[in-house]
Amino acid sequence: MKIHRIDHVGIVVHDLPAAKAFFLEFGLEMIGEGEVEGEWVERIIGPKEVKGEVVMLRTQDGEANIELVKFHTPSDENGIQRPLANTLGIRHIAFAVEDMEALVTKLKKNGAELIGEIQNYENAYKLCYCRGPEGIILELAERIK
Structural domains in the chain, sorted by start: 9-73 (3.10.180.10), 92-143 (3.10.180.10)
138 strand-pairing partners: 93, 130
pLDDT score of 38: 82
pLDDT score of 90: 83
pLDDT, mean of residues 17-40: 93
Does the structure show a pLDDT above 80 at 42?
A: no
pLDDT score of 67: 95
The sheet with strand 65-73 has its strands ordered as: 9-12, 65-73, 51-58, 29-37
Residue 137: closest CA among 99, 60, 75, 80: 80
Q: What is the pTM of this model?
A: 0.87
pLDDT score of 102: 95
Q: Percentage of the chain with pLDDT > 90?
A: 65
pLDDT, mean of residues 69-86: 82
Does the structure show a pLDDT above 90 at 103?
A: yes
Residue 68: closest CA among 83, 53, 79: 53
From residue 19, how far is each of 4, 44, 131 by CA, in Å? 28, 24, 12
pLDDT, mean of residues 15-28: 95
Does the structure show a pLDDT above 90 at 17?
A: yes
91/136 Cα distance (integer angstroms): 8
Pairing of the two strands 125-131 and 137-143: antiparallel
pLDDT score of 87: 83
**Mean pLDDT over the full length of the chain:** 90
| Residues 139/120, Cβ–Cβ less than 8 Å | no
Residue 28: closest CA among 132, 119, 143: 132
97/81 Cα distance (integer angstroms): 26
